[in-house]
Structure 1
């Protein structure tokens, strides 16, 4: 963050950064979804990585966001909770639906068990589903965090409520999306979205009103028992 002593100057500087829709989108995503990898951020915001990289570099130079590196993986996060609050207030002021950050992990075990990450399943349920699909060879890891259908894709996904032919082709098919609550991955991309739609259509999970949390029904607990027992 700007380290000058004058709070008015600091506020003006942050306001300048919030004049860009791209940077507001970056802040909003990091505030609501937590630390995020570059590739996942580009996917969620539907932005080319070179453009996104320029904005991230600018925000890092101003110390509004920071990056944690683990090998070749870079994960971006907001440096100060007050920035998150400022972005939320700005969006609320123009009539956007309020999307407050969820309570801390320790205070919301339901959220860490099953929630939506945009349009796919995250939390422990999402992590275990991906691990099970990889073990079954329904999905195969390929370089750079991407995933592709494996030899068991058709029957495995059909049992979860989706047909491979119904998956839209206009977006990335599948990728490993970093899960902030478990330090592992869940399934993102078009397949991840179709999977969540399938689970909801089977009434194995139900969205919880005014929350990103997903409720696992009794039918879902039975239908997904082998994934949950992993």
Structure 2
């Protein structure tokens, strides 16, 4: 028989401002070095090492070593989902500079949420798949319809391979900026990977934001009739 979950232990780890800043910087799904996480949290490297050790021991992060360098990433999709949910219920911080305003706009438009697409783009994709009957909502998950399976396979995604993973297949993830759900899970990750492969989206350096390329705007409009609000010139 398992004991009750110790949410206080997890809450205390996330509740520290420096650790919270490092966790949010890892929410994009990439593994980052301790030095970069220290800069993001605006603390000294030695202090960052102590915080990172606590996050690893607490099961929120995993450490990867490449030669002399140590990289850190979120332990799993569940940790990312919990952080995204906290973002959705947390009050917004005031924007204090023009740079922060640009960064906030970019994150609201399109970003990575662990390994899937979030923001206006992620929600628009999910809404359109629901509208076209490619997926339906079933509890906390999405279920792919027969029509959806054909369309997704035609898009270049092998659903049999996607279903072999041990994680949730198509999870509903509450989007903190849109206040609606986007698609997470193995299928959400597969769709994001395919969009990267096609050159529809690209990462913005030093952050979670994504930009939609000209090919992406054209593909989204022709394949799914998705018309995004952000002007093509910004992509």
The two structures have a TM-score, normalised by structure 2, of: 0.57
Confirm or deny that 1:169 pairs with 2:105. no
Q: Match for residue 218 of structure 2?
A: 222
How far has the Cα of 1:151 moved from its partner? 2.4
Give the root-mean-square deviation of aligned CA atoms.
3.5
Q: Match for residue 106 of structure 2?
A: 110
Unpaired runs of 5+ in structure 1?
1-49, 66-76
Q: Deviations over 1:2-55 (max 9, x none)?
A: xxxxxxxxxxxxxxxxxxxxxxxxxxxxxxxxxxxxxxxxxxxxxxxx87x723
The two structures have a TM-score, normalised by structure 1, of: 0.59
Q: Match for residue 56 of structure 1?
A: 7
How far has the Cα of 1:112 moved from its partner? 1.3
Q: Match for residue 142 of structure 2?
A: 147
Aligned residues of 2:121 and 2:228 also touching (Cα < 8 A):
no
How far has the Cα of 1:160 moved from its partner? 4.0
Distance 1:59-1:205 versus aligned 2 partners, 3 A rule: closer
Distance 1:201-1:59 versus aligned 2 partners, 3 A rule: closer
Q: Match for residue 121 of structure 1?
A: 117
Q: Match for residue 20 of structure 2?
A: 84
Q: Deviations over 1:85-126 (max 9, x none)?
A: 588555456654699x9x968442112111111110111100
Aligned residues of 1:179 and 1:185 also touching (Cα < 8 A):
yes
How far has the Cα of 1:58 moved from its partner? 4.6
Q: Match for residue 81 of structure 2?
A: none
SS at match of 1:134: helix
Distance 1:184-1:166 versus aligned 2 partners, 3 A rule: same
Q: Match for residue 83 of structure 2?
A: none
SS at match of 1:227: coil
- Within 2, Cα distance between the matches of 1:189 and 1:83? 25
- Within 2, Cα distance between the matches of 1:81 and 1:207? 26
Aligned length in residues? 163
How far has the Cα of 1:227 moved from its partner? 2.1
How far has the Cα of 1:177 moved from its partner? 0.5
